[in-house]
Amino acid sequence: MKDFIYGVATSSYQIEGAAFEDGRGISIWDTFSRTPGKVANGDTGDVACDHYHRYKEDLDLMKWLGVSAYRFSVAWPRVIPNGIGKINQFGIDFYDRLIDGVLERGIEPWLTIYHWDLPQALQDRGGWANREITEWFSEYTGLLANRFGDRVKRWMTLNEPLCSAWIGHLYGEMAPGIRNLKTALDASHHLLLSHGRAVDVIRSSIKEVKVGIVINVTPAVPVGESAEDKRAADLADGFDNRWFLNPVFGKSYPEDVLQALGESPAIEAGDMKEIAKDLDFLGVNFYFRQTVKYDATGKPLPIKNVRRENVKRTFMDWEVHAPAFAEYLTRIHRLYAPKEMYVTENGSAWDDRLVNGKIEDDERISYFKEHLAAIESAREAGAPINGYFAWSLLDNFEWTYGYEKRFGLVYVDYKTQERIPKKSAHHYRQLLLDRAT
């Protein structure tokens, strides 16, 4: 694809490690991963890929791959250990070194402000459920903008607010592990409001900046043809996708979902306007589609997820279905008309085996090919998609799945911290080389 950025993405808690070094504060993922039964095998991000110490080697890998952009996130508790107030200079220094290293290698840094590692001290005050977080997040954003805005010109406020709100506060399967609908609705609203306010902070402090948000989309299809199943699919789409896309693009929370839930977040006058800030781009993350059926007993919505048989699935048990991606990208363009779109994450986990020093991950290569083709077709249909970030550079701490699920282009031997590029890394590199010629 011409005039198209190819990059890789990571996130702080998943790769950095050094969880208790150089003054880093505790995050909700340190707490959650230590709560028995929450993460597979009791894994934590204490060491992860030890990227905090090995970042140079990782940046060299990116350079070898030939990517032109690197999407990473800042660990809030590393730069402000208690979330607000005192700054940790060691943390700032680390990101200074990282950003300089990225630039020295001719790569463009794309910074995500929040990829789920909230300072525990703020969680103790209610976290995303407390409206004051919009001020805490502005303070944190202001610090990053002031310190890094001279060199970083591409900013993303939040990564996947759905996961923070619904998975963290409704299903309780991610940090902070709460299960309460009203808390989840409020958290979703405060996440979006924090995003809107942060956009202003970024624009007022950085010259020639481009700012956006990253939303994950999970298209929903009905299992059958019945009107009830179709309604279930609409509701799933409303709750998982439109709930976050609508407000960001100036629309209200989806009416159908609000009615079916029978509850609403606490919204104050002017909030919806503050959320709907003019954005330079929308970041879209895509992994799989969902199949749903109507189920009157479903909570909080009358929906049940159905496991389709005889379809291709990744090691996460997620269905592989690239056409749904193409269709959803086109739909976003039609419904919301973002100025620019970037696929900020896409990738897959497989049962990678190291055999004779090699990982032959042909399934991952097919997955990339099919999804890049989907992007190309959405572009041809007019969606302004200008880049792609493969998830992920490295195998890493896959949240509740711990280290069992590997998404990397590069294999990590967690015992030795050795990095071994998989066949898919060679494939991605070749794709970029072919493009350059």
Residues classed as catalytic: 160, 345
- Rounded CA separation 90/97 (Å): 11
What's the closest the beta carbon of residue 390 comes to ligand FCB, in angstroms?
A: 11
- Rounded CA separation 138/142 (Å): 6
| Farthest CA pair distance, the chain | 63
- Rounded CA separation 226/246 (Å): 27
Smaller CB distance to ligand FCB: residue 160 or 186?
Answer: 160
What's the closest the beta carbon of residue 276 comes to ligand FCB, in angstroms?
A: 23
Smaller CB distance to ligand FCB: residue 14 or 188?
Answer: 14
Smaller CB distance to ligand FCB: residue 149 or 408?
Answer: 408
**Tokens 């298209």 sit on residue:** 219
What's the closest the beta carbon of residue 108 comes to ligand FCB, in angstroms?
A: 20
What's the closest the beta carbon of residue 360 comes to ligand FCB, in angstroms?
A: 21
CB 13 within 8 A of CB 72: no
What's the closest the beta carbon of residue 9 comes to ligand FCB, in angstroms?
A: 8
Cβ neighbours of residue 39 under 8 Å, at least 6 residues apart? Answer: 32, 33, 399, 400, 401, 402
Smaller CB distance to ligand FCB: residue 44 or 159?
Answer: 159
Smaller CB distance to ligand FCB: residue 160 or 363?
Answer: 160
Count other Cβ atoms within 10 Å, centred on residue 429.
16
CB 218 within 8 A of CB 241: yes
Q: Is the dihedral of CA 370, 385, 287, 103 positive or negative?
A: positive
Count other Cβ atoms within 10 Å, centred on residue 374.
23
- Rounded CA separation 412/359 (Å): 11
- Give the interface with ligand FCB as residue ranges (CB under 6 A): 11, 14, 159-160, 163, 216, 285, 345, 391, 398-399, 407
DSSP state letter for 318: P
